[in-house]
Amino acid sequence: MGKLLVVYMTLGYPNVQSFKDFIIGAVENGADILELGIPPKYAKYDGPVIRKSYDKVKGLDIWPLITDIRKDVSVPIIALTYLEDWIDQLDNFLNMMRDVKLDGVLFPDLLIDYIDDLDKFDGIIKNKGLKNVIFTSPSVPDLLIHKVSKISDLFLYYGVRPTTGVPIPVSVKQLINRVRNLVENKLIVGFGLSSESDLRDALSSGADGIAIGTAFIEEIEKNGVKSAINLVKKFRVILDEYK
């Protein structure tokens, strides 16, 4: 099987029709899995570009839009949102996710802020029939990375930067080499990958795929949806060089 392209987009960005056009175009041009970002109250682990995209879509009724997208594409769709926002109404939130036929959820704060309750929340999510995709990072101890790689559904998301789209002076290759043998799952690398060299470094170091979001939002902002779809196509071509 080839390398996986996980495409992120903030729900409804930059507007509903353009969002739908991008999502459909992304899948037609090689996206294997979709991550749909639900704007949080406080985006503490998102970079400035994605935070700005949240501001443009606040107040949007997310559920009808997700329902429409689910009808349009057949690839797995996971919601990316913060557990902190839904913890007091988690049962209702997960029921809604199941009702609109989302495949699963990725809570980036689960392993950071709720580590003591990891097993509890993992069970709650899976008992609803949903996938629990776990986010981890270089700051997580090796033993914990190994543990969560075995329980994370679809893939393990490994963020190589402290926030999305913000580079730090650490080699992507070094970061992936450290965890590759710890991960008993598909290793998807994201959070800060934007350049072609970053992608190639990740793939040549053993990543099973990449997750990209900031680059698409920036491209939409600068040059429009069609150009962002072409960027999906470009990344797909790069991934297909690494079988």
Q: Which of 21, 28, 35, 116 is catalytic?
A: 35
Other residues' Cβ atoms within 10 Å of the Cβ of residue 203: 20
Distance CA 162, CA 30 (A): 27
Letter for the amino acid at 11?
L
pLDDT of residue 83: 97
Q: Between β-strands 4-10 and 104-106, what pairing exists: parallel, antiparallel or unpaired?
A: unpaired
DSSP reduced 3-state for 6: strand
Q: 173 phi and psi, to 5 degrees? A: -60, -45
Residue 37 contacts residue 242 (beta carbons within 8 Å): no
> Catalytic: 46?
yes
Enter the tokens of residue 135: 């986010």
Q: Which of 21, 28, 32, 46 is catalytic?
A: 46
Whether omega before 14 lies within 30 degrees of 0, making that bond cis, reads: yes
CA angle in degrees (0–180, nearest 5) for 113-59-94? 50
- What is the third-level CATH fold of 4-239? TIM Barrel (3.20.20)
Enter the tokens of residue 177: 């080499």
> Catalytic: 241?
no
- Tens-level pLDDT at each residue, the chain (243 residues): 699 999 999 999 999 999 999 999 999 999 999 999 999 887 777 888 898 999 889 889 999 999 999 999 999 999 999 999 999 999 999 999 999 999 999 999 999 999 999 999 999 999 999 999 999 998 899 999 999 999 999 999 999 875 555 555 578 888 899 899 999 999 999 987 767 888 899 999 999 999 999 999 999 999 999 999 999 999 999 999 997
pLDDT of residue 124: 98
Distance CA 42, CA 164 (A): 14
Q: Which pTM value belongs to this model? A: 0.94
